[in-house]
Structure 1
Amino acid sequence: MSPKEIVQKFYKSDALIDRDVMQEYLHPEIILDWNSSKGFIQMNYDSILNLSQELSKAYVRSKVRISHIIAENDLVSLRYSHFVKTIENPREEMLLAHFIVIWQIKDNKLFKGYQMSQIS
């Protein structure tokens, strides 16, 4: 599978709200540098899994809509919007945030990530 296909499959999965699925995509030495509207966060394997677990407590559904994706060698860049459905209101889809991320793929897993986001 190509790096682009790996990233597309990751964002089409329930990994963002399912810790077990998330584990399938993460390299054990993963580092994610994340600049959000609330500041800078550096995440590792465990903190990413914990975030996925926390998101699963609030959201019953997660959907990513990719608007741009570019791949070169082991790097994949994409722009996407993340939509969720809350436990309190599972019928209404809500825009959570907009993202731009660059992923480096190693051993067919997400290895290094550089991400920026803005809450909707």
Structure 2
Amino acid sequence: MSKKLVQDFYKSDALINSEIMDAYLHPDVVLDWNSSTGLKQLKRQDLLTLAKELSKAYVRSKAKISHILKDGNLIVVRYSHYIKTIENPREEMLLAHFMVIWELQDDKLYRGYQISQLP
């Protein structure tokens, strides 16, 4: 169940649709994200705001999962995030590569540890 929940999250438009994302997030969710600009800690409202901001620039978002592993209530996902921009909706572009460990609680994304790399 938990592996499917994470797969469904990344297969949905949650990364660019805050309403969809909202359904997957635990009320106390926290994501520690090591990005090219340093460590960011995002809480629920930060994640929803990020999805809203991304929806202003991207008309389509697709996470291509290459690996997904489950260990208890932890799910590890490795994926590449592709987008289509408003300016060029016909061309799919690689945004970044991601590796994230999600801890689930109450069938929701509760605690995440993510690292990303630009292409």
**What TM-score do the two structures reach when normalised by structure 2?**
0.99
Shift of 1:78: 1.0
Task: Please state if 1:21 is matched with 2:20.
Answer: yes
Task: Please state if 1:64 is matched with 2:63.
Answer: yes
Give the 3-state SS of the residue equivalent to 2:98 in structure 1.
strand
- The Cα RMSD (Å) is 0.5
Q: Which residue of 2 aligns with 1:83?
A: 82
Report the AA paired with residue 52 of structure 2.
Answer: Q
Shift of 1:37: 1.1
Q: Which residue of 1 aligns with 2:31?
A: 32
Q: Which residue of 2 aligns with 1:96?
A: 95
Give the 3-state SS of the residue equivalent to 1:90 in structure 2.
coil
Q: Which residue of 2 aligns with 1:10?
A: 9
Q: Which residue of 1 aligns with 2:49?
A: 50
Report the AA paired with residue 117 of structure 1.
Answer: S
Task: Please state if 1:118 is matched with 2:117.
Answer: yes
Task: Please state if 1:105 is matched with 2:104.
Answer: yes
Give the aligned length.
119
User: Please, which runs of 5 or more residues in structure 2 have no aligned partner?
Assistant: none
Shift of 1:70: 0.4
Report the AA paired with residue 88 of structure 1.
Answer: E
After superposition, give the CA deviation of every residue in 1:46-78 in whole Å (9 maximum; x if it has no partner).
Answer: 000000000000000000000011001100001
What is the CA–CA distance in structure 2 between the aligned matches of 1:59 and 1:22, rounded to whole Å? 16
What is the CA–CA distance in structure 2 between the aligned matches of 1:46 and 1:78, rounded to whole Å? 22
Give the 3-state SS of the residue equivalent to 2:97 in structure 1.
strand
Report the AA paired with residue 25 of structure 1.
Answer: Y
